[in-house]
Structures are given as C-alpha cells and as structure tokens.
Amino acid sequence: MFLQQFANALALGSVYALFAIGFTLIFGVLEIVTLAHGAVFMIGAFAGLMVVTKFNANPITAILVGMMASGVLGCLIDLVAVRPLRKRKFHHLAPMIATIGCATIIISISQGIFGAEVYRFPFDFMPATSFNFWAIQLTLLQIIIVGVALSLMMIIIFLLKRTKWGKAVRSVAESPRTAALLGIPVERVFLLTAFAASALGGAAGVLTGINFNAIHAFMGGPIMHRGIAVIILGGMGDIRGAVLGGLILGFAEIMSVAYLSSDFRDAISFGLLFVILLVRPAGIFGSHIERKG
C-alpha cells in the first residue's frame, strides 16, 4: 500500500518538478517571478489536446506540440511585456505585475474561446495497460509521465551544464551586464531561456492533462500555487531544488490524501511554503535570498 502510494507520488511530483524547473529557470536567469507560467502551462495542455483530437496524434507528438506552443507563448510574453521594462530602470514589482496582466489576458481569451467546460482526451487515447512489480502496480500512463519528465529534466540539465548555450545562460544569470560586456547576446539568451522554460511548462501541462484527463481554462491556477511553494522550498533559481521540491510536494500531497483527508489537499503547498519561510527562507539549496531586485 505504502509503496503503491510512493509510485503515485513519484508521478505527481515529477510533473510538479517539471513545471517548477521552468519557473525557477526564468527566475534565475531573467530575475523575474513570472506569474504567467500557469497560463503558459494551460495553453500547452490545450495545444496537446488539439493535435490529439484533430489529427489523432500519439502522446509523444502531443507533448512536443504542447511544448512548442508554450515555448512560443513564453517568448511572446517576454517580447511584449517584459523586454520593454528591461530597457529602462523599473520598480522590482513591475515585471511581476506585467506577467499577472499577461496571465489574465491569456486565461480570459481561452475562456472566451473554449468556454468554462472541461475537455477530455479521447477514450482510447491512453491504453489502460498496467504492469506489476512485486506489490506495486504501475500504469502505462505513470511510466510515461515519469519517463518523459525525467528525460526532459536530464536534457535541460545537460543543456545548461554541457553546452555553449548553457554556459551563456549561466553567465547571464550571474550578471547580465558582465555577460553583455563579454560579448554574449543577452537579449537572445533571455528569449531562449523563456522559450525553454515555457516549453517545460507546456510539457507539464500536457502530462497533467493526460494524468487527470481534465483540461480547462483555469487549470493553471492550482499548479501556480504549487510551483511557487516548490521553488521557495528548493531555493529560488536552483534546478536541483525545483526537482527535489516538486517530489517532496507530490509526496506530501499523496500521503495526506491517502492517510488524512482530501479536503485540504490544495492547502498543503501553502502550509509547506509557510513552514519553509519560517525555518529556512533561502530554501534547501538556496543562495538567492540576499539579492534584491
């Protein structure tokens, strides 16, 4: 029973981690808290759903399309709402407020187009196959979710640590000004980071859509709260922290639903956030606390 819950927690937590990596990447590099990440996540889920219903695409294609759609949207937000602010001195809350505006626009338009109803993937989209390992039953869906999430995490960590682009991103995260002086095209790095981070959010969106089989205009809200809790828990701007924080939150939620009650599931992320702010505000791996915007 406990091991079964553990498997469920792993599937849930890895999606949280995927969402939070994008979130924390944008914070670490662009130094903004993008409150539009939930809306970007929702658009990814809808894009994935569209290719499945219209073109009968397989899950992997759906995820790739969702990532593309979210990535492009993330670039658009950066170009339209955040870049104009970077060009001059701005108050440190300004970019955050601009992204709240973007989120509101995106959600409202999606609601106008798709209505308030809940969309589902076709019935036979994901075969209900499951595999037994000792006492644990893993569904094909869970294996796909964990597999995709882990591979994407590995890819983004590889890109950041081992490629020239990753080096540029890390130097811009350290200091955009110094990076610019050294000839790194900072604006392009910002844009690429926004694309990569949003694409991860989109992948999380498609996976969540498949997992709960419920896609609607407001699905980004709950995961926003969780994403915030996860990146504060792990330390803002830290990729390892986002992964670990996501898994911890997934674990805490599944266990509380299994052994306590499901009524307050949505409040757990806040409880975790509150405790971490009390005892260790920098988060598990954090070092960002002293930097002020």
Partner 1 sequence: MIEFLMSFWQTYNTLFYTIMVHGMLALSIYITLACGQLSLGNAAFMGIGAYTAALFTMKLNAPFGLALLAGGMLPAFVALIIGAPTLRLSGVYLAMATLGFGEVVRVVFLNISITGGSVGLNGVPPKTELWHLFLVMGVLIYFFLKLKNSRFGRAMEAIREDEVAASVMGIKTTWFKVWAFAIGAFIAGIAGGLNAHFTFFLSPREYGFDFAVDILTFAILGGTGTFWGPLVGSTILTIMPEMLRFIGPYRLALNGLILVLVVIYLPNGIITVKKKD
Q: How far is the CB of 33 from partner 1 (least distance, A)?
A: 5
Burial profile 75-90: b = 16 or more Cβ within 10 angstroms, e = fewer:
bebbeebbbeebeeee
Stretch that binds partner 1, among 8-16, 83-91, 137-145, 199-207 (CB under 8 A): 83-91
The Cα–Cα gap between 9 and 29 comes to 29
Residues 10-69 that bind partner 1 (CB under 8 A): 33, 35
> Is residue 274 involved in binding partner 1 (CB under 8 A)?
yes
As a residue count, the chain comes to: 293
Q: Which helix (H) or strand (E) holds 137?
A: strand 136-139
Residues 104-163 that bind partner 1 (CB under 8 A): 104-109, 111-112
124 vs 290, beta carbon nearer partner 1: 290
- CA nearest 145: which of 282, 12, 28, 9? 12
Q: Name the region of 56 (left: φ>0; alpha: ψ -120 to 50; beta: rest).
A: left
List 3, 58, 84, 167, residue binding partner 1 (CB under 8 A): 84
Stretch that binds partner 1, among 157-165, 168-176, 204-212, 273-281 (CB under 8 A): 273-281
- CA nearest 202: which of 86, 74, 93, 94? 74
> Is residue 260 involved in binding partner 1 (CB under 8 A)?
no
User: What residue ranges bind partner 1 (CB under 8 A)?
Assistant: 33, 35, 80-81, 84-85, 90-94, 96-98, 100-109, 111-112, 221-222, 224-225, 228-229, 232, 263-264, 266-267, 269-271, 273-274, 277-278, 281, 289, 291-293
